């Protein structure tokens, strides 16, 4: 634990003055085992995909196919694999678990309560994420500080003690405008829904376009308390977002 905390602190301190690519390269160099990048094909994830693929970094690509994604998300998935000559490995929810979920709460039962929605996220996202990260030493995500007030408490690097790995947010200090400008300048495929007001894109039933002036993640689980909207992917056992290694 002490060695891991020291490594996290070292990588995090260096990250402040590094580019996103240098952060990715540093994490890959620091860990002897597998590193996985989980992408949902949003604009920030597409920027990271471009960095990893064009630099030829030994980082695996994975995505969580919940079974309820937008058609446009599948389109950009295919475009991304063709553009970079990569394979993004899908992780699906367990069929029996989905059957039990729908039987218990109905096909759209997640609208009924926060607990019901979290149960759906558990089956469709959290359990598959566990398999996606199994055996990995490093986890790369596209989290940014300006996505929500809740996420400003994060850092470039943290120790995910529950999963036993080091987590890197290489574009943590980018704005959405930075990510959009980067993808445009480098001809990176982006989800067509971004141009229709869908800034944060998840499952189709749980995502809507946002109006001018609304926070970026207002379109996710819009029927819930704005201050507490996380699916659980980046939340620790205590229900809080995973933060710095010093706090892990």
The CATH number that applies at residue 174 is: 3.40.50.620
- Backbone dihedral region for residue 41 (phi beyond 0: left; psi -120 to 50: alpha; all else: beta): left
Sequence-distant (6+) residues with CB within 8 A of 167 are: 138, 139, 140, 141, 157, 158, 159, 160, 242
157-171 pLDDT, tens per residue? 999 999 999 999 999
Query: pLDDT band at 216, cuts 50/70/90?
Result: confident
Helical H segments across 199-244, by residue range:
none
Structurally, the chain folds into a number of domains equal to 1
176 φ, ψ (degrees, to nearest 5): -60, -40
Tokens 């892990």 — which residue?
248
To the query of whether residue 231 is one of the catalytic residues in this protein, the response is yes
Which residues constitute the domain of residue 139? 2-247
Catalytic residue, chosen from 120, 121, 203, 231, is 231
What's the chain's average pLDDT?
89
217-227 tens-digit pLDDT: 889 998 897 65
CA atoms of 179 and 76, how far apart (whole Å) = 16
pTM, whole model, 2 decimals?
0.88
């Amino acid at each position: 634990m002490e060695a891991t905390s020291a490594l996290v602190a070292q990588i995090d301190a260096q990250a402040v003055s590094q580019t996103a690519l240098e952060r990715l390269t540093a994490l890959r160099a620091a860990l002897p085992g597998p590193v996985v990048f989980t992408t949902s094909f949003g604009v920030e994830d597409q920027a990271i995909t471009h960095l990893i693929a064009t630099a030829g970094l030994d980082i695996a690509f994975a995505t969580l196919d919940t079974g309820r994604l937008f058609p446009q998300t599948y389109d950009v998935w295919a475009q991304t694999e063709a553009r970079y000559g990569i394979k993004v490995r899908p992780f699906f929810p367990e069929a029996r678990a989905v059957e039990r979920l729908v039987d218990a709460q109905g096909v759209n039962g997640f609208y009924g309560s926060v607990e019901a929605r979290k149960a759906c996220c558990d089956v469709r996202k959290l359990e598959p994420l566990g398999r996606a990260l199994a055996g990995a030493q490093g986890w790369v995500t596209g989290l940014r500080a300006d996505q929500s007030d809740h996420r400003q408490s994060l850092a470039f690097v943290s120790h995910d003690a529950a999963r036993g790995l080091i987590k890197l947010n290489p574009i943590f200090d980018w704005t959405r405008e930075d990510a959009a400008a980067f993808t445009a300048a480098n001809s990176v495929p982006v989800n067509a829904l971004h141009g229709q007001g869908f800034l944060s894109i998840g499952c189709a039933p749980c995502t809507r376009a946002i109006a001018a002036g609304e926070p970026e993640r207002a379109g996710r689980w819009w029927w819930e308390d704005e201050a507490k909207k996380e699916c659980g992917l980046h939340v620790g056992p205590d229900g809080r977002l995973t933060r710095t290694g010093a706090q892990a």
